[in-house]
A and B are shown apart, each in its own frame.
Chain A
């Protein structure tokens, strides 16, 4: 069951490429089916692993060699939680894309690249070997560079080029870090590496590699000193791609990979956690301040992503069980509401023919599905109770107070108010303003409306994930993986 998470998207990508000559409805059907099957599978796996009394991990051995020499795939609590987030968003974005990419020629290329990216992301989540993690990360990233440039307009090419250059530099730093780690431990398997590092404890190598990884994965996660590419790439890409980049790609390639290595391989180190907190605070503040001056709706959402990722980073940096819970819940919430906001921005752009905030108005009256979806996700991201975004921010703020960091809690609360202000200021004319004359409008198709409505329902219902029964299945395993640190690694002998 484990390798299906890579096999299904890869198969979908290749089937779509092989049937390129056939009718485009075949590609649409193939893409939506693939997305649905994998989303259903991820929920099934999460439910299976989260049952009380379940072992909590699923493993798969590629080939006959046992690890650490052989390659193994492992799904633990954190992976299964991330798989649900990624594939749920992936499915709904695919559904939306069937309507959105109608204007492009060669739609099959879009779907092929999209599923290649999805299989890379899933591969990162399954990898138990640090070099495999790197390879899958590169697969996802290369597909993302192509997808950003998909429209081949001047802006898109420029954004794609800048993103690809920065991404490649980040990858070079990460590979350099992996080389140093291999030199120190003689193994690439992450669980084995954690064991060797705990036994020999080469503090200086760990410090050097930590810096390289914070640069590399920090750039992939768009944390603040490394955030410059994000506004280009996310605002120029086609809407479904922006939604995937902002919703899941930066979280898996950045936050997940960073926390997997720092928590489960190096073990929690107070200095590194302190750096994460500083970077997180910088991201929150700089992202929110930059979002204020934006006149382009997608750039506004892009900078707000930088700001919200800061919350996840401080939650992980504080690293108490409550803070990690808040960080993961915020990550889940942000995945759904930010991908929904980008999908809405795409629909609004199609409808009005512009992304200028000053020229948009009356969306709520004109196109109720898009309008209400934007409203509910904007309310959630600005932290209005009882929506999920309020609870996840509140949990992070309480966790900061509980961990004896009231200043941090105060900053997080202030930035939250700032978020409310800039969302209200920018989006209220767009939603409630007078209904404008229709310009160049293509109304969202049924598939696009269905995808936006489904995501809006998820955003509205995400607070229910706090109910003990759902939290037990979805989040508790992931929290345990991070808070137990290196003790949580699957023993190599247990991999079948």
Chain B
């Protein structure tokens, strides 16, 4: 149980980082932490104690494997997270060119 709670604590750390940090690079890192916390949580759901990796070979019985589906899901989710991070960093570089700052409280040309 502890490990799940720690995982959700990590999620909260990421959320705190997004909500409270002023540097947009730190906000992007916060998004990354949230995504990894969710991925870790998903992978943990598929885990069983003393389970072995879900690789099927002809001479092995399907016994005591961890659930392979969350692993496939997490793999896809990591790729999605990568593309979001890439996009955010690219926009952050352009923002720095235009505004000359990484401080989100100074990037306020849009009002209301």
A→B interface (CB under 8 Å):
131, 135, 138, 142, 145-146, 149, 152-155, 157-162, 164-165, 168-169, 171-172, 175-176, 178-179, 182-183, 186, 188, 231-232, 235-236, 290, 293-294, 299
Give the chain A neighbours of B76 by CB distance below 8 A. Answer: 131, 135
- 7 further A-B contacts with Cβ under 8 Å, apart from A158-B108, A175-B42, are A145-B87, A161-B92, A179-B41, A179-B42, A182-B69, A183-B45, A294-B112
- Ordered by A's residue number, 6 sampled pairs between the chains whose C-beta atoms are within 8 Å are A142-B83, A155-B109, A165-B88, A172-B11, A182-B69, A293-B112
Q: Could you tell me the distance in whole angstroms from the C-beta of A82 to the nearest C-beta in chain B?
A: 23
B9 at the interface (CB under 8 A from A): no
A188 B11 Cβ-Cβ under 8 A: no
A165 B45 Cβ-Cβ under 8 A: no
CA distance A179 to B42 in the complex (A): 5
The list of the 7 closest CB pairs from A to B, nearest first, reads A154-B98, A172-B34, A183-B45, A179-B42, A138-B80, A175-B38, A168-B31
Of A145, A165, A236, A294, which contacts B18 at CB under 8 A? Answer: A165
The chain A residue with its CB closest to the CB of B95 is A157
CA distance A135 to B94 in the complex (A): 27
CA distance A142 to B81 in the complex (A): 10
Do A179 and B45 contact each other (CB < 8 Å), given the known contacts A161-B91, A165-B18? yes
A165 B87 Cβ-Cβ under 8 A: no
CA distance A142 to B87 in the complex (A): 8
Q: Could you tell me the distance in whole angstroms from the C-beta of B26 to the nearest C-beta in chain A?
A: 12
B107 at the interface (CB under 8 A from A): yes
The chain B residue with its CB closest to the CB of A138 is B80
Q: Give the A-B pair count, Cβ closer than 8 A.
A: 98
Do A165 and B31 contact each other (CB < 8 Å), given the known contacts A149-B91, A179-B38, A183-B45? yes
Interface residues on B, range: 35 or more
Do A236 and B110 contact each other (CB < 8 Å), given the known contacts A142-B84, A175-B42? yes
B92 A172 Cβ-Cβ under 8 A: no
CA distance A287 to B94 in the complex (A): 31
Overall SS of chain A's interface: helix
The chain A residue with its CB closest to the CB of B4 is A183
CA distance A186 to B46 in the complex (A): 9
B27 at the interface (CB under 8 A from A): yes
B88 A164 Cβ-Cβ under 8 A: yes
- A149, A153, A175, A179: which has the most chain B beta carbons within 10 Å? A179
Binary per-residue interface labels of chain B (41-78) against chain A in the complex, 1 for a CB within 8 Å, 0 otherwise: 11001000000000000000000000101100100110
CA distance A182 to B45 in the complex (A): 8
Q: Could you tell me the distance in whole angstroms from the C-beta of A484 to the nearest C-beta in chain B?
A: 29
Give the chain B neighbours of A152 by CB distance below 8 A. Answer: 94
Q: Could you tell me the distance in whole angstroms from the C-beta of B96 to the nearest C-beta in chain A?
A: 10
Of A135, A145, A165, A176, which contacts B41 at CB under 8 A? Answer: A176
B13 at the interface (CB under 8 A from A): no
Give the chain B neighbours of A146 by CB distance below 8 A. Answer: 87
CA distance A168 to B14 in the complex (A): 12
CA distance A231 to B107 in the complex (A): 16
Give the chain A neighbours of B87 by CB distance below 8 A. Answer: 142, 145-146, 164
A160 B91 Cβ-Cβ under 8 A: yes
Of A158, A160, A172, A299, which contacts B38 at CB under 8 A? Answer: A172
Do A154 and B109 contact each other (CB < 8 Å), given the known contacts A164-B88, A172-B38, A179-B41? yes
CA distance A110 to B71 in the complex (A): 34
- A175, A183, A299: which has the most chain B beta carbons within 10 Å? A175
Give the chain B neighbours of A162 by CB distance below 8 A. Answer: 110
Of B73, B77, B88, which contacts A161 at CB under 8 A? Answer: B88
A164 B83 Cβ-Cβ under 8 A: no
Q: Could you tell me the distance in whole angstroms from the C-beta of B102 to the nearest C-beta in chain A?
A: 11
B112 A164 Cβ-Cβ under 8 A: no
CA distance A182 to B24 in the complex (A): 33
- B27, B80, B92: which has the most chain A beta carbons within 10 Å? B80
Q: Could you tell me the distance in whole angstroms from the C-beta of A380 to the nearest C-beta in chain B?
A: 26
The chain B residue with its CB closest to the CB of A135 is B76
B112 A231 Cβ-Cβ under 8 A: yes
Do A149 and B110 contact each other (CB < 8 Å), given the known contacts A169-B18, A176-B38, A182-B45? no
State which residues 5-32 of B face A: CB under 8 Å.
Answer: 11, 14-15, 18, 24, 27, 31
CA distance A232 to B107 in the complex (A): 13
Q: Could you tell me the distance in whole angstroms from the C-beta of B4 to the nearest C-beta in chain A?
A: 9
CA distance A159 to B11 in the complex (A): 25
- B38, B92, B110: which has the most chain A beta carbons within 10 Å? B110
